[in-house]
Amino acid sequence: MIDREYRIQAWNRKRETGMQGVSREEAIGRTIFEILHRQPPEMLRREFDDVFTTGRIQEYQMESLATGELRTYRITKIPMRLGDSAVTHVITIGEDVTDWKEAQQRFAQAEKLAAIGQLAAGVMHEINNPLATIAACAESLGFKLEDVKKAGSAIPADANEYLQIIDNEVSRCKQIVDGLLDFSRPKQALKERVSLNEVIERTLLLLKHHVRFKKLTVIPEFDADLARVPQANGEQLVQVFMALLLNAMDAVGDRGTITVRTRRGTNAEEGVVAEVVDQGHGIARSELSKIFEPFYTTKAPGRGTGLGLSICYGIIQEHGGRIEVDSALGQGSTFRVLLPTVEHR
């Protein structure tokens, strides 16, 4: 609490602890500018004057790296009147709202993705039928051409090639449609007791033959005593780790290192945790909220569709789990899959 001269009049015990802590003896009687010397004095003065002159509570959020990691604080400045009219003191409260904010963002993200999923499912439904028609028409045209040829007539030189192109392009569309459907409502596949370690080992085995993957160093750090996931589909989980590992491969370039780790979670809902850690190019903070959206890609056309992570999201969601990411531009990314060790539905 400070007075009109910006002198600290009260300082609570909590503010004495931690790396940024200042003892009460040191703080009381000094001005806020002396104690919070890391912050620009004009800014501090402006913030307090706002409350002194308007008499209204001010609330805002700020981010700080003071503890070594990025945390978000909600700062509330409350006017206090000892007499009857003018504000005589201002009380400042700083709350660490990082976890709360993360939960909010997670919730907003889930809602957004659910909306996109619904839209996608609708569009895909509309596109599936015309695609099937195109494929069928191309096929019967092919048969007709055969007949014409058998009857001894000449057929246009490019005709078969064009039909082949139609066929290929239709398959490509179908792949995208199937991918999107995996995101918006993954197939209700058979669920059984699955070992996460085995799933990842299987994925690594499949990737062993990949030309680019072969050059990478993969460091497995498995918790051998990991509980099994009681209701899971191994194939779908392999698909998830395949997508995560391929992304990590793209991020680290040709000769990087990827760590794949499994460990015990903190509670039954997050019973087992798998992390794919790379030291690749990382993801800018402004992009982090988009990477799970279908078709979000930063890769060259033809290199990525932007469906990988959205499919992962859909599958993990369907498993009653959660997928998280920590990333810093230029430093690398950690993708974390949390799965329940209790039956979830």
Give the residue with the Cβ less far from ligand ATP, 130 or 253: 253
How many Å apart are CA 46 and CA 305, to the nearest integer? 49
Q: Is residue 243 a contact residue for ligand ATP (CB under 6 A)?
A: yes
Three-class DSSP category at 274: strand
Within 313-342, which residues bind ligand ATP (CB under 6 A)?
A: 333
Which amino acid, residue 159?
Answer: A
251 binds, among ligand ATP, Mg ion, none (CB under 5 to 8 A by kind): ligand ATP
The residue at minimum Cβ distance from ligand ATP is 308
Residues that bind Mg ion (CB under 5 A): 247, 308
Q: Is residue 304 a contact residue for ligand ATP (CB under 6 A)?
A: yes
Q: Is residue 242 a contact residue for ligand ATP (CB under 6 A)?
A: no
Give the residue with the Cβ less far from Mg ion, 304 or 320: 304
Whole-number minimum distance, CB 239 to ligand ATP, in Å? 11
Whole-number minimum distance, CB 179 to Mg ion, in Å? 11
Paired strand residues for 333: 278, 327
Stretch that binds ligand ATP, among 86-94, 157-165, 263-271, 307-315 (CB under 6 A): 307-315
Q: Is residue 109 a contact residue for ligand ATP (CB under 6 A)?
A: no
Task: Please state the three-class secondary structure of 284-334 as a single string.
Answer: CHHHCCCCCCCCCCCCCCCCCCCCHHHHHHHHHHHCCCEEEEEEECCCEEE
**Start-end of H helices in 36-97:** 41-54
Whole-number minimum distance, CB 80 to ligand ATP, in Å? 49
Tokens of 123: 């569009």
Distances (CA, A) of 96 to 67, 70, 74, 190: 11, 11, 6, 43
Distances (CA, A) of 94 to 1, 6, 28, 29: 12, 17, 18, 20
Give the residue with the Cβ less far from ligand ATP, 8 or 338: 338
How many Å apart are CA 309 and CA 105, to the nearest integer? 18
Q: How many residues contact ligand ATP, by CB under 6 A?
A: 22
Whole-number minimum distance, CB 106 to ligand ATP, in Å? 18
Give the residue with the Cβ less far from ligand ATP, 35 or 240: 240
Within 59-78, which residues bind ligand ATP (CB under 6 A)?
A: none
From 207, 240, 251, 272, residue interacting with ligand ATP (rule: CB under 6 A):
251
Residues 6+ apart with CB under 8 A from 149: 155
The residue at minimum Cβ distance from Mg ion is 308
Residues 6+ apart with CB under 8 A from 96: 71, 72, 73
Q: What string marks each residue from 257 to 296 as x (binds ligand ATP by CB under 6 A) or -?
A: ---------------------x-xxxx-------x----x
Which amino acid, residue 126?
Answer: E
Residues 6+ apart with CB under 8 A from 70: 63, 64, 98
Q: In the complex, which residues of this chain contact ligand ATP (CB under 6 A)?
A: 243, 247-248, 251, 278, 280-283, 291, 296-299, 304-310, 333
